[in-house]
C-alpha cells in the first residue's frame, strides 16, 4: 500500500493544473492561414510578413510590443473587416475563404492575378491590424464615450443623455473609424458605408 503525503498531493495538483492551462492556451492560440485561395485561409499575410513590413515604417513600437498571439488575432480581425466590403472582379476560386485573390479587373491598367494578393490589400491589413491591436474598442465603442450621442440641439429643443448610463456604442463602418483605409482599398471596392469617392464603371 502506497501512502501519499499531503505535500505530494499538492505538488501533483499544481503540476496537473499547469499542464491543463498550457494545453488550453495552445488550443485557443490564434493561428494564421495565409494560403492564397485557401479554403481555410483567414489572413492575406503571415506574421513574418507583417513583422517585416513594420521594419520599414517610421516607428514600429506599437506593433513590436505586442505578443505574437495578439498580433495574429489582430491580423485575422483586420482580414475580416477588409472582407466585409464588396469588390470588383471575381473570386479566382469559388471555394476560397477570402475575397482575394480576384481576377477580371484592372487597377492602374494592371490585371489582378490569381497567384498574388495586391500590395495595397496587404498594406491595408498591416495598418489596420496595428490599429486594432492598439485600440480593441475602436469598432464597438466604449460606455458613454464612443458611438453614442452625448448632446443633440435643434433650436430651443435640446436633449442631453446621461452618458454614464449609456451602453456600449457602435460605429457604422470600419471606414468611419479609419478613413485612411480608403487610400488602400478604394480602387478595388464596389461600395461601402461612409462618404468617399470610388471608381465608377459605365458600360
Whether 64 shows a pLDDT value over 50: the answer reads: yes
Residue 193's CB: how many other CB atoms inside 10 A?
13
**pLDDT per residue as tens digits for the range 156-185:** 777 665 555 555 444 447 888 899 999 999
Whether the CB-CB separation of 97 and 86 falls below 8 Å is answered with: no
The whole-chain average pLDDT of the chain stands at 80
| pLDDT band per the 50, 70, 90 thresholds, residue 71 | very high
Q: What pLDDT, on a 0 to 100 scale, did the predictor assign at position 193? A: 41
Give buried/exposed letters for 124-137 (b at 16+ CB in 10 A, else e).
bbbbbbbbbbeeee
Residue whose C-alpha cell is 448632446: 151
pTM of the predicted protein model? 0.70
Residue of higher predicted confidence among 15 and 106: 106
User: How many Å apart are CA 91 and CA 112, to the nearest integer?
Assistant: 11
Residue of higher predicted confidence among 137 and 194: 137
Which of 85, 98, 120 is CA-nearest to residue 43? Answer: 98
The pLDDT > 70 percentage for the chain reads 65
End-to-end CA gap in the chain: 89
Whether 73 shows a pLDDT value over 80: the answer reads: yes
User: How many Å apart are CA 144 and CA 162, to the nearest integer?
Assistant: 8
Cell triple for residue 179?
Answer: 478613413
Amino acid at each position: 500500500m502506497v501512502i501519499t503525503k499531503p505535500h505530494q498531493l499538492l505538488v501533483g495538483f499544481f503540476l496537473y493544473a499547469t499542464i491543463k492551462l498550457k494545453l488550453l492556451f495552445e488550443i485557443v492560440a490564434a493561428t494564421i492561414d495565409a494560403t492564397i485561395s485557401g479554403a481555410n485561409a483567414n489572413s492575406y499575410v503571415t506574421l513574418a510578413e507583417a513583422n517585416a513590413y513594420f521594419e520599414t515604417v517610421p516607428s514600429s513600437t506599437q506593433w513590436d510590443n505586442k505578443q505574437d498571439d495578439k498580433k495574429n488575432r489582430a491580423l485575422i480581425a483586420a482580414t475580416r473587416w477588409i472582407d466585409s466590403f464588396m469588390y470588383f472582379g471575381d473570386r479566382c476560386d469559388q471555394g476560397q475563404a477570402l475575397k482575394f485573390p480576384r481576377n477580371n479587373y484592372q487597377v492602374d491598367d494592371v490585371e489582378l492575378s490569381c497567384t498574388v494578393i495586391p500590395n495595397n490589400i496587404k498594406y491595408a491589413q498591416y495598418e489596420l491590424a496595428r490599429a486594432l491591436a492598439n485600440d480593441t474598442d475602436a469598432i464597438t465603442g466604449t460606455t458613454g464615450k464612443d458611438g453614442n450621442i452625448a448632446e443633440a440641439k435643434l433650436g430651443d429643443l435640446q436633449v442631453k443623455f446621461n452618458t454614464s448610463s449609456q451602453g456600449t456604442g457602435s460605429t457604422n463602418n470600419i471606414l468611419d473609424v479609419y478613413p485612411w483605409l480608403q487610400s488602400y482599398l478604394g480602387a478595388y471596392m464596389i461600395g461601402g458605408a461612409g462618404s468617399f469617392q470610388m471608381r465608377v464603371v459605365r458600360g
